[in-house]
Chain A
Amino acid sequence: MAEFSKQLERLEAIVRRLESEDLDLDEALKLFEEGVERLRVAREQLQQAELKVKKVLEIESPS
């Protein structure tokens, strides 16, 4: 699973580019599709219901 902050950063970059540049329709659509996909993944991550808890013991040898 991609790192959430990277996901959001890319999403923001896509929105800014789509807002600020005069793109041809093809490129705009491609960016839009990527944005929608990233938004979907981000939302999915946020909806994750349960926290993963891992205990690391001091005596455990470093991996």
Chain B
Amino acid sequence: MGAPLSPGHGPGLDLFAAASAEGAWTVGEVTRRARAVIEAGLPPLWVRGEIADFTAARSGHWYFTLRDKAAQLRCAMFAKQNFRLAPPVDGVQVFVFARPSMYEAKGEFQLIVSELLTTDQGGLWKLAFEKAKAALTKDGLLDPTRKRRLPAFPRRIAVVTSPDGAALRDIQAVVGRRWPVAELIVVPAQVQGAKAEASVCSALNRIRRLPVDVLVVARGGGSVEDLWAFNSERVARAVAAMPMPVISAIGHETDVTLCDLVADLRAPTPSAAAEAATPDRVEVMAQCGVLGQRLARALRIASRHVVERLARTADRLSRSMDHRLEVSGARLTAYGARLDALSPLKVLARGYAVARDSGGQVLKRVAQLPSGKAFRLRVTDGEVNGRVQ
């Protein structure tokens, strides 16, 4: 001992193993720990910078550097995130939404990018949109279970839109054709420009206090800037807070605004919104026809029961009458026989005769029959004339 230690010296002594045993880390351990610390300490975030060293790998994954004047970051954007996007070129300004991490195999700090927006494609708008959307999502306002059902037969339909736009004309035409039973309450609002956000919010606020069954918020197509009021978080929150179901029809079918996302239903056009808000009266009329038929049929069936019951009662009544007639008939026959037995004809048949004078008076005594008196004698089979001798 005492001699300086150097590799190759001191047979049998493995300095590397000895150092490890004293608590030195392996490279893998360090990168693994560093990755855990980074991922736990830094949430996903939006980062702004300039693209450099862009390469698209054969696998479809993108690798690039994001840099500004002060620093640079390695970035990876995997194929399943980038497949809809056009590859950016070096030097372009972008926003990325990314999760900070560590590429352990190379010991490199990197961003795992899930969204990439170039500023020249309206990236600033998109960034604001994504931020507001994230805030709304966090508060549960985009939850599909929040969506309310639309009323089947609305009495009052409110519309927030420009008072002189095509949207209002279209809505009025469709509601007038399909469901004029309803009342259309138009609350005009400025739908573009600097005052649009405040104007739309104020219109919504106005409707909140009205007895309205369904609300349509509409605006025709326009540029991203034109539709901006409907991408404002304030408008979106006001729409979400409406007490009645809301149908949103903003811009063209391809533009999805925050207002569309928080509404109970998104319609591709103002006309489609009006259709969704109303039943078709022709169909409802047919439905009424069916109900009328069922009503008549049901009454027929209900009254048939009653008629059948009446018929059964009548049958019973007449059956009991028949019985009584039979009994009476038998009794009549019996009386007849007894009457027959008492008939004077029966007495004559036994050999008695009855004498009557010309006036028909029965001659019962000798005094009534002086000599020479004419009489008629009734025997069982007829009458004969006689004279007393």
B-contacting residues of A (Cβ < 8 Å)?
A: 3-5, 8, 11-12, 14-15, 18-19, 22-25, 28-29, 32, 35-36, 39, 42-43, 45-46, 48-58, 60, 62
Contact = CB atoms under 8 A, between A and B. Distances in A.
Interface of B: 151-153, 155, 163, 172, 175-176, 180-189, 199, 202-203, 206-207, 209-210, 281, 284-285, 287-288, 291-292, 294-295, 297-299, 301-303, 305-306
Given A4-B155, A15-B294, A50-B180, A29 B186 contact: no
Given A43-B285, A58-B199, A52 B295 contact: no
B172 A53 contact: yes
Given A39-B288, A46-B285, A19 B209 contact: no
A17 to B, nearest CB: 8
A43 B284 CA distance: 9
Output the residue of B182, B187, B207, B298 with the most chain A CB within 10 A: B298
A25 B288 contact: no
A11 B298 contact: no
B262 to A, nearest CB: 21
Contact of B180 (A23, A43, A49): A49
B185 A56 contact: yes
Given A28-B303, A32-B295, A35-B295, A55 B163 contact: yes
Contacts of B185: 54-56
A25 B298 CA distance: 12
Contact of A62 (B206, B287, B303): B206
12 contacts: A4-B181, A11-B295, A15-B291, A15-B298, A18-B298, A32-B299, A35-B291, A48-B180, A48-B181, A51-B175, A51-B183, A55-B163
